[in-house]
Amino acid sequence: MTAAPRTDRESARAGRLYARLLRAYPAAYRARFGRAMRETFAHEHARLHDESPRATRVRRAAFWIVTITQAVWFGLGERLRARRRAARGVPMYTALPAPRSVWARWSMLGDARLALRLLARQPLFTVTAVASLAVGLAASTTIFSLADKLFLSPAPGIRDAARVVDLERTTNGRGFGTISFAALQELRARTRTLEALSATSRSPIALSLRVDGGSERLYGLAVSASYFDVFGTRPAIGRFFRAEEDEAPDARPVVVLSHRYWRERFQSDPGVLSRPLHVNDTAFDVIGVAEPGFEGPTFIGTDLWLPMAMVGTTRGRPTAELLAAGTDSALWRRAVGRLKPGVTREMAEAELNTLFDTLKRDERIVPASHRIRVLPSGTLPAPTRAPFAAFVGLLLIVTGGLLLIACSNVAGMLLARASTRQREMATRLAMGAGRGRLVSQLLVETVVLFALAAIVAAPLTLWLAQVVPALMPAAPYPLRGDLPIGLRALAFAGGAALVTGLVFGLAPARHALRADLAHMLHGRSATDGRDRQRLRHGLVAAQVALSLAMVITAGLFVRTLQTVSRMDAGFRTADVEVVTLDTTTVRAVGPEAAALMRRIEERLRTLPAIERVGYSGQAPLQGGSFDLGALRIPGAGPEIVEALQETDWDVVSPGYFGAVGLPILAGRAFTPEDRAARPLVAIVNETFARLVWPGQSALGRQFMLVKGPANDERAIEVVGVVKDAKYRSFDEPARPFIYAPFEQHPQAGAEWFIKHAPGAAIGREVRAAIAVVQPDLPVVMMQPFADTIAIGLLPQRLAAWIAGVVGLIGLFLAGLGLYGLAAFLVTQRRREIAIRMALGASPASVRALVLGRAARLGFAGAIAGLLLAAAVGRFIASQRLLVGIDALDPLTFALLTLALGVVLFAASYLPARSAAATEPARTLQAP
């Protein structure tokens, strides 16, 4: 318990602190005085204690304040002084030659510090290089994360994901069809290759949750009891379904909640297990909550799962009826399974098809043309994998291109630096520095540069990861929208940075070392590095090519969006809100659904802000279609039958045409009189009328609707002709289309089109009005009509945005690269230029010389870029991503090439002007 050791410790600590404070001083100063100052300080500090053993806190504080202030203030002062002196060339107090340890001499850390100092001395170079690399790295890491999430990583909560498979049905070897529930039951009972097999509804179904005084929308997925076994996931609380809970139809109302929904809706209250949940007017028991993160295998999530035996509640009909063999509704798009250990997908597929074939005896269960395909499970549902892969692949190529441009730009700058530092290198070699040592230093410099870029890229990537999911459109089901920047993406970014750093760092090093010492010391032959020049020229031309290709790609997408926005889909989208309702949530189907819709319409019409209301079975331009049955046109020839293959249908309310702004060209719109008990009527579009009754009036004509297993025919009379519109997608050709009255073919799901006064916000009023009519009917979705239509163009919008940003940055970088190269060449050839001018060359001809060289590079790059752009254009056109323009759209190509020319001219004009300003006398006299 003596005081002495404590004082010792305190002094040691004070000494260390002071050593750190000394870093405020310039290195040369520290080298000279650092040790002495630390010693002196130690005395001073000891004295403080000696003088007043119980040195008051005030004195100690004062001592430290003075010490710290002096160190910082004088340190800065010395730094300024050192810079002023260095600028005037006055030598500073030279450091005493300090013997360095062998370790220090070879330490990479020392190299890294030297590299940092060199970089700090060239802030423009450093900032440009780091910024361009960071943008490239961040963009490619984000896109890689997206690709990782969609294609590479299994969704969270899935164990042994390699054994999880999707079962799809093909027709004559093509497509992703549905498998009937009866067939799945048979397969599940007999399979020996699958450990577990579960049917699931095709996507989450909108449900209504009864809450105090109203309802909330939530989504549920109907699954077999074995669903959770397929994924090997575990409950967070409670349990999953038991087999007996998925047997007797509508007998055991139980649900499992997803962890996200449990957290968001119930604040993770374990008490949910003891309360009934009123979903679609049925009291369900919550038996468990899935583990955090698990919401099924795809990026489409869900709020809860219910057993297939309870699926009737989601459709407003008895389950037994829904799942009966031979009915349309017994088709389930998705089935998932888990392979037994050691079983391959091929083995499972062979076995399942053998079983499937035995089922084909009953044509109601399995038609002969059907086969089963076993696919690896993935975050993207199997049918969407190919188009998404193309899109993400394109993005990866585009961002990879940006990374390449940034890297080649930096490589160009490093090459330029390498040649200006050739003398330094030569001197050091001559003085005995090892070649390996120089290479290691150059490499370390490059790697430090790339490491800095990676550090800047990290927060940028995190920001992009926030922004990209926000670009996702509203969808009629929950999306697992988060974009985790995982280990893989980090490894990708790190690897990309490292590889590019090493590859591009080595090039200058190789050049520096191969060069001839004597020549380099002489300093004149710096221009002779022929292949260095060729390499640099190649890099600049490549940059020009890549960035031109990219801006043209962006331009093609922008032109697509432009064309589409000018393209008249035929609908009025301004001030129209689309509201999705599903009356099965209140068990209203068929005529009941129609009656409920009518009551809601009456209510909505009383709202002052609402001008027109109509509803239909589907929203246009969602990429899908719908039909009521086959057509038979009395007296129609085979060519007409062929042309009508592409006919689509919709069922609409009387107010629909007015609400979406489709004019009736002949005849009448539907009226409330077109009811179930009345003769069937239809309104056809212009194309249908022209195809079937060319040159004649379609009004009053009849055609046959063929329906059901017995091919029952019912006559439909045409009462009106409506203007053509776009139905599935913007780029489709004119398509025959039939509208039938909603009341005569009632649907439980309806899209409401509500035209309101400009600028009016009607969301709350509409919800309130619906709640008055039917308190537990939730609004599934509500969004502006324009947004609904825009979903179809999302890939183009994203691609235009990304390719545009990337292309512009690339163009800027290419300009910078050309500027750097031209300026460098001018500096190097200053003597040659001076001689030319002394011999009578005019400034204009010198300018032309420099511009000519730049133009040659730009021209070569542009040609390559145009070829590349043409290839990319062909590719995106083949993916049907371009609308209304050619893959080689002349306007886009010409305008953007011109823009590139302007940028490149600007980039090379400054060096050219500087070359023309050369004063021969002064340049030639200089040593």
Partner 1 sequence: MDTREPLKPAAFHILLALAERDSHGYAVMQTVRDQSGGRVRLQTGSFYRHLARLIDEGMVAEAAAPRAAESSRRGTHYRLTPLGRRALEDERRYLADVMAALNGLRPALRKDPS
Q: Are the C-beta atoms of residues 747 and 617 closer than 8 Å to each other? A: yes
Q: Which is nearer to partner 1, 90 or 894 (CB)?
A: 90
| Residue 6 Cβ vs partner 1, minimum distance, rounded to whole Å | 22
Residues 6+ apart with CB under 8 A from 98: 31
| The binder of partner 1 chosen from 29, 125, 670, 688 (CB under 8 A) | 29
Cβ distance to partner 1 smaller for residue 74 or 801 = 74
| Stretch 179-238 residues interacting with partner 1 (CB under 8 A) | none
Residues in contact with 75: Cβ distance below 8 Å, sequence separation at least 6, in sequence order? 21, 22, 23, 24, 25, 26
- Asked whether the beta carbons of 400 and 376 are under 8 A apart, the reply is no
Q: Is 849 in the site for partner 1 (CB under 8 A)?
A: no
Residue 130 carries which side chain, given as an amino acid letter? Answer: V
Which regions of 815-888 does DSSP assign to beta strands (E)? none
Q: Strands, DSSP E only, in 552-641?
A: 576-582, 610-616, 630-632
**Between residues 44 and 673, which has the closer beta carbon with respect to partner 1?**
44
Over the window 1 to 20, marking each residue x when it contacts partner 1 by CB under 8 A and - when it does not, the resulting string is -----------------x--
Pair 312, 241: CB distance under 8 Å: no
Asked if residues 119 and 193 have their Cβ atoms less than 8 Å apart, the reply is no
Sign of CA dihedral 726, 731, 732, 734: positive
Evaluate whether 536 touches 544 at the Cβ level (below 8 Å).
no
Cβ proximity to partner 1, 51 vs 346, nearer residue: 51
Q: Pick between residue 74 and residue 859 the one whose CB is nearest to partner 1.
A: 74
**Angle at Cα 533 formed by Cα 528 and Cα 535, nearest 5°?**
140
Which of 15, 19, 27, 35 touches partner 1 (CB under 8 A)?
35
Kindly report the backbone phi and psi dihedral angles of residue 734, in degrees, each rounded to the nearest multiple of 5, phi listed first: -55, 135
The least distance separating partner 1 from the CB of residue 81, rounded to whole angstroms, comes to 9
Instruction: Give the nearer residue to partner 1 in terms of CB position, either 18 or 492.
Output: 18
Question: Whose Cβ is closer to partner 1: residue 25's or residue 571's?
Answer: 25
CA angle 811/816/822 to nearest 5° reads: 125
Nearest to 703 by CA among 693, 686, 719, 715: 715
Q: Is the distance from CB of 544 to CB of 628 less than 8 angstroms? A: no
Q: Tell me the closest approach of the beta carbon of residue 23 to partner 1, in angstroms.
A: 13
Whole-number Å distance between alpha carbons of 200 and 512: 65
What DSSP state is assigned to residue 707?
A: E
Burial of 642 (0-12, 13-18, 19+ CB in 10 A): exposed
CB of 517 vs partner 1, minimal distance in Å: 38
Give min distance, CB of 38 to partner 1, in A: 8
**Closest CA relative to residue 18, chosen from 66, 55, 51:** 66
Which lies closer to partner 1 via its Cβ, residue 73 or residue 626? Answer: 73
| Least distance in angstroms from the C-beta of 529 to partner 1 | 43
Q: Could you tell me the smallest distance in angstroms from the CB atom of residue 133 to partner 1?
A: 41
Q: How far is the CB of 18 from partner 1 (least distance, A)?
A: 8
Beta bridge partners of 740: 651
Among 32, 315, 587, 847, binds partner 1 (CB under 8 A): 32
Longest dimension (CA), the chain: 121
Query: In this chain, which stretch among 28-36, 244-252, 353-361, 470-478 interacts with partner 1, using CB under 8 A?
Result: 28-36
Rounded to a whole number of angstroms, the minimum distance from the CB of residue 147 to partner 1 is 57
Q: Which residues pair with 135 in a beta bridge?
A: none
> In terms of CB distance, is 82 or 754 closer to partner 1?
82
Identity of the residue, 95 or 567, whose beta carbon is nearer to partner 1 in the bound complex? 95
| Residue 684 and residue 773 in contact, taking contact as beta carbons nearer than 8 Å | no
Minimum Å gap between C-beta 8 and partner 1 is: 16
What mask, x for binding partner 1 by CB under 8 A, covers residues 92 to 131?
-x--x-----------------------------------
Tell me the torsion sign for CA atoms 58, 60, 64, 70: positive
- Footprint of partner 1 on residues 36-95 (CB under 8 A)? 36-37, 39-41, 43-44, 66-67, 70-71, 74, 77-78, 93
Nearer to partner 1, 66 or 455 (CB): 66
Type of residue numbered 820: G
Instruction: In angstroms, give the least distance from the CB of 2 to partner 1.
Output: 23
From 25-33, 633-641, 704-712, 850-858, span contacting partner 1 (CB under 8 A): 25-33
Nearer to partner 1, 66 or 320 (CB): 66
Count of residues that bind partner 1 according to CB under 8 A: 21
State the minimum distance, in angstroms, from the CB of residue 117 to partner 1. 22
- Residue 316 CA to residue 323 CA, distance in Å, equals 13
- The yes or no reply on residue 358 touching partner 1 (CB under 8 A) is no
- CA dist 898 and 854 (Å) reads 15
Contact set for partner 1, span 530-569 (CB under 8 A): none
Q: Which of 744, 750, 742, 745 is nearest to 774 (CA)?
A: 750
Closest separation between CB of residue 94 and partner 1, Å?
A: 11
Identify residues 695-724 at the interface with partner 1 (CB under 8 A).
none
Q: Which is nearer to partner 1, 51 or 642 (CB)?
A: 51
Binding site for partner 1 (CB under 8 A): 18, 29, 32-33, 35-37, 39-41, 43-44, 66-67, 70-71, 74, 77-78, 93, 96
